[in-house]
Amino acid sequence: MTKTAAVIVAAGRGVRAGGAVPKQWQMLEGMPVLAHTLAAFQTHAQIGQIVLVLHPDELNRADAFLDARTSVVAGDADRTGSVRNGLNALDPDGLVLIHDVARPMVSAAMITDVIGALADHKGAAPALPVTDALWSGSEGRVTGNQDRTGLFRAQTPQGFDLAMILAAHAAHAGGAADDVEVARAFGVDVAIVTGDEDNLKITHPSDFDRAARILRGRDGH
């Protein structure tokens, strides 16, 4: 079985989540968010090499959560640069999954599904269809409605042929919202894998409580 590499992006500051430290270091059911995210990939049978991208001031902070397959590199000024640093630290072939550290609830099934989609595609990523009504707004008032047809909520991990996404990042000017944007700018079609509502991104303080409830549910509590 071909092993897939993973880049875990954890160099951001996460200020919207509140707290005295960046959200990846805040506690979730007894462990930092980062530890939960790393464990999801470290325990997956199809994941070989893992590169954790940290803020330059925090390169030794994750030592307790590393294993023999996991290494650390410094992030850059923005997410795109941080991902590029992580990709450049990998063995230069095979497949790669790029994942946001703030999604600690990613399941083994989701990782497997994205890897499986890469058998037929150069890029694949999970997403959920938008089901709520969408409005435009200004100054606290609704100004219009937006058609939701064909709209999806993007998630990670986003998977790619490693050589392709390295070339795509090398050609990109930076500032992309995610790696699907980088791949599409390079002319690559990206397959949509069915996402998971539990694969939430911790962004606001209330998201920690929701993530904890999901974890307790998985543990049967």
119 pLDDT tier (thresholds 50, 70, 90): very high
Instruction: Specify which residues 198 forms β-bridges with.
Output: none
1 pLDDT tier (thresholds 50, 70, 90): low
Query: In 10 A of CB 29, how many CB atoms?
Result: 16
* Domain covering 4-218: architecture: Alpha-Beta Complex (3.90)
User: pLDDT tens for residues 13-68?
Assistant: 766 666 778 999 999 999 999 999 999 999 999 999 999 999 999 999 999 999 99
Please give the Cα distance from 71 to 53 (Å, whole number). Answer: 9
* Whole-number CA gyration radius for the chain: 17
Q: According to the model, what pLDDT value does residue 24 have?
A: 95
Domain positions in the chain are 4-218
The number of residues making up the chain comes to: 221
User: pLDDT tens for residues 121-135?
Assistant: 999 999 999 999 999
pTM: 0.95
Please give the Cα distance from 10 to 54 (Å, whole number). Answer: 5
Q: According to the model, what pLDDT value does residue 193 have?
A: 98
Alpha helices in the chain (DSSP H): 33-42, 79-88, 108-117, 162-171, 179-185, 206-218
As a whole number, mean pLDDT of residues 100-112 equals 97
